Amino acid sequence: MKLELDLMQWKDELSFSDTPDGRHIFCYIRKRFYVSTPEELVRQLTIQHLIHKGLYARGLINLEKAISLNGLTRRFDLVVYHSDGSPSILIECKAPTVKLSQKTFDQVAAYNLKVQAPYLVITNGIDTYCAQIDFDERQYTMLDYLPINSKASE
């Protein structure tokens, strides 16, 4: 089931820089500017949502970390951690023009074989879906909300 999130409400919280090389967007987690691609915009809007809604603290969010999967190097978009360092949510961001599908969900689920987060999220900034993983039963349940870290202020 689709979550009712308005990620665009956070656009005013973002910082942009126009250079001769093009438009760049500031990443508050990595503390530098990156080329402002549609996917990067969605990633930054998602970060703003997590922080400003008080779901997670900035220090608990990690971006674009390389993982090895079946001998190939892949990069996840976002992982949000609990304060004890265990993964909480694995998030895959797509450009707004990319239609979210089972293939998108399969991509983040494959990454989760390494990450082992109990929640998976896919978003294109327009549509967002969240699933809770039951590792014992090897199944997932679609949710109509994002999980909240009760220790977000840490």
Residue 101 placed within a domain? yes
Per-residue pLDDT of the chain (154 residues; tens, 9 = 90+): 899 888 989 999 999 999 999 999 999 999 999 999 999 999 999 999 999 887 788 899 999 787 877 787 888 899 999 989 999 999 999 999 999 999 999 999 999 989 999 999 999 999 999 999 988 888 899 999 988 764 443 3
Contacts by residues 36-40 (CB-CB < 8 Å, ≥ 24 positions apart): 37/95, 38/95, 38/96, 38/97, 39/77, 39/93, 39/94, 39/95
Which residue range forms the structural domain that includes residue 29?
7-143
Residue 50 placed within a domain? yes
Residue 39 placed within a domain? yes
* Dist. CA 10–CA 14, nearest whole Å: 7
Residue 154 placed within a domain? no
> Looking at residue 90, which CATH number applies to its domain?
3.90.1570
Residue 137 placed within a domain? yes
Residue 19 placed within a domain? yes
Residue 148 placed within a domain? no
Residue 54: per-residue pLDDT: 79
Residue 149: per-residue pLDDT: 66
* Dist. CA 137–CA 13, nearest whole Å: 40
Residue 2 placed within a domain? no
Domains contained in the chain, number: 1
Query: Phi and psi of 95, rounded to 5°?
Result: -65, 150
